Chains A and B, each alone.
Chain A
Amino acid sequence: MPERFTELTSRTIVLAQESIDTDQIIPARFLTTTTRAGLGAQAFYDWRYDASGAPLADAPLNTIDRAEHKILVAGDNFACGSSREHAPWALLDYGVRAVISTSIADIFTSNALKNGLLPITVDKETHQRLLDEPGGRVTIDLERCTLSIGNTEPIPFTVEPFARRCLLEGVDTMGWLVERIPAIEHFERTQDNAA
């Protein structure tokens, strides 16, 4: 079950590049795992390590204090590509709790929300303000659906209402669906009769 998400104040990591795809977030060669755990070590691996596996000293993702930087601000079309849920698993394990961009891929958004990683899309102007201030402090309030850059006026954002409730209240989506199996069985009976 995902960790709850209510409010978060943290500094930003800015990766301004557009179309940061899921192969950048976690390269496919690390997908042979059979668990969800520990994938933070491979998050953005090819941006953080050289061909021999030695850490790149100048890679911001290796030098920042992860406990202080939990909000990723990324270029447009973030997390395009594969359906791998390893992408949000890797980001969460690395320490990221929210991602902000002008657009975020559909499947990634769905996967992230199920794991307690909050994807937020903002307009270009807000995005530019965030890009211009790497490491800036941002407050995300999921109850009110607002984000504030520093101490400035809160900016509203939208999250799919059910996913929001799941994050705020810790609703177990699988449990919610399993409770509805009687309705599913009823649907199946009507289908069998129709066929």
Chain B
Amino acid sequence: MPPEHPRTLFDKVWDAHQVQAETADAPGILYVDLHLVHEVTSPQAFSELDARGLKVRRPDRTYATLDHSTPTLPPGADGVRPYTTADAAAQVEALQRNCARHGVRLAGWDSEDRGVVHVMAPELGLTQPGMVVVCGDSHTATHGAFGALAFGIGTSEVAHVLATQCLLQRKPKTMRVTLDGALRPGVSPKDLTLAVVAAIGFSGGSGYVIEYAGEAIRALDMEGRMTLCNMSIEAGARAGMVAPDEKTVAFLRGRKFAPQGEAFEAAAARWLALASDKGARYDKELHVDAAAITPMATWGTTPDAAIAIGAPAPTPVSDSQVRSLAYMGFTAGEVTTHAPVDVVFIGSCTNGRLSDLRYAAAVLRGRRVKESVRMLVVPGSESVKRAAEAEGLDQVFIDAGAEWRLPGCSMCIAMNGDFVAPGQLAVSTSNRNFEGRQGKGARTILASPATAAASAVMGVLTDPRVFSEERAHA
């Protein structure tokens, strides 16, 4: 029998975390189960605690890592890590110091658990269904793949959570995006993600929490769901969620910080009950035909500017789009598959997981990166790096002529010394193609790992199905 007041997945998580309900005068107080911390957005928050004489209230619900400012090249012969600037080194040292002083666990340089925050936390089982997860990072939406309510916060709010384990929040609206049908062979989760962001538009998700539903979502593995939820913010939504199912449970079983034994079975039963009730209402509904999606790539400087690879760049409808096309060096009505690609980047919290590296390696195996292309492969975590090396993926990349680096955010945000030079064109598996995002004057095409690998081989933006069809006919 359906419940009297059917609730969405979001409603259930939201309701369970209300310390104090919102009123007309004041926002509600929302409890945070897991607070993830990295070096870039935390130093000023720790300073604020210090200035007020406050301590981290729940170090047991706080977990830190080093990812944004960290070099991806190993230490030199002198044992010194090649930080891009003294400031970057000082920022990492500040987090090490702050964590030590406040008793916060840190996956530091010497930890086998270190990784990009949104890759690391799920693989450690820190992220669990039904949790509220926050981090001073807009791609925190990634954790919504587990049916958690996960969103990015600013540094003032990082301080609030450190000091109180809570945030002041008003209830957002809900949007359901239903992916009908099945993805075609050779079409990856990133292609689906770019198609969804394009369908919602750059600010269509503003003020909403998105729930992704439908046949194509159920068919995605957990890593694919993370890729999708990760980019919710690129459509303006602070959070994206997927209802937990048997895949979620299977992923978490046995993870380091997941419940163990009988406690796990009890937790799994609670997790599976989080799915939206039949008849639950959403403020907005959107349907996308998953079966119609083909490999996608962006042509402009907002992530929603995505089209099928091989389709002509659109005719601009605004001055901003004119500027966007001009910045990218593309012409309206012409395909973007002729422009020489200078750099290929595989990695990031969007596509730095093992399955992503497998997609790329499948294309590169037995092939060479074109001589004019610089290709960087950066695993999302130490764990991804170990797993990839165990199955020989690192050697596939190295043999093809790519660079195999240490885990970190690297060229996605380009603040650690890994960057795309002015004017260069990059095909990147990351999440933002903003002007200068990957370095001053850098031009970024967002695409999937398979597309990035295929483009590295061909030297131009390439639909990776060219190679899978070759294999099929071999």
Contact = CB atoms under 8 A, between A and B. Distances in A.
A24 B434 contact: yes
Nearest to B33: A191
A187 B152 contact: no
B152 A115 contact: no
A46 B436 contact: yes
B372 interface: no
A75 B138 CA distance: 21
Interface stretch (A6-14, A15-23, A65-73, A135-143): A15-23
Interface stretch (B23-31, B246-254, B341-349): B23-31
A176 B307 CA distance: 47
B236 A160 contact: no
Given A21-B434, A28-B415, A83-B138, A173 B206 contact: no
Q: Which of B25, B136, B202 has the most CB of A within 10 A?
A: B202
Interface stretch (B6-14, B47-55, B220-228, B357-365): B47-55
B157 A110 contact: yes
A42 interface: no
Interface residues of B, number: 68
Contacts, number: 176
Contact of B320 (A27, A75, A160): A75
B410 to A, nearest CB: 12
A184 B165 contact: yes
Interface string B399-429: 0000000000000011100010010000000
A23 B432 contact: yes
A183 interface: yes
B31 A177 contact: no
Q: Which of B52, B87, B156, B441 has the most CB of A within 10 A?
A: B156
B43 interface: yes
B294 interface: no
Interface in B261-288: none
Given A76-B203, A83-B152, A110-B157, A32 B138 contact: no
A46 B442 CA distance: 12
B163 interface: yes
B202 A84 contact: no
Contacts of B68: 31
Interface string A125-165: 00000000000000000000000000000000000111001
B202 A77 contact: yes
Contacts of A80: 202-203, 236, 302
B436 A27 contact: yes
Give the size range of A's interface with the partner: 35 or more
B155 interface: yes
Contacts of B25: 161-162, 165
Interface string B39-75: 0110110011000101001000000000011000000
A54 interface: no
Contacts of A46: 435-436, 440-441
A76 B432 CA distance: 18
Contacts of A176: 168
A38 to B, nearest CB: 12
Interface in A1-59: 16-19, 21, 23-24, 27-29, 31-36, 46, 51
B94 A34 contact: yes
Nearest to B201: A77
B319 interface: yes
B44 A36 contact: yes
B159 interface: yes
Interface string A172-195: 011011101101100110010000
Nearest to A32: B87
B256 interface: no
B375 interface: no
B260 interface: no
Contact of B160 (A82, A85, A161, A177): A177
A169 interface: no
B105 to A, nearest CB: 19
A184 B203 contact: no
Given A85-B44, A85-B156, 13 more contacts: A23-B434, A28-B414, A31-B68, A32-B90, A34-B44, A34-B94, A83-B41, A174-B48, A176-B168, A178-B163, A180-B29, A184-B29, A184-B166
24 contacts: A18-B318, A19-B301, A27-B440, A29-B440, A31-B68, A32-B85, A32-B415, A34-B94, A35-B43, A46-B436, A80-B236, A82-B137, A82-B138, A83-B41, A83-B136, A83-B154, A103-B206, A107-B238, A110-B153, A111-B156, A162-B168, A174-B160, A180-B166, A184-B19
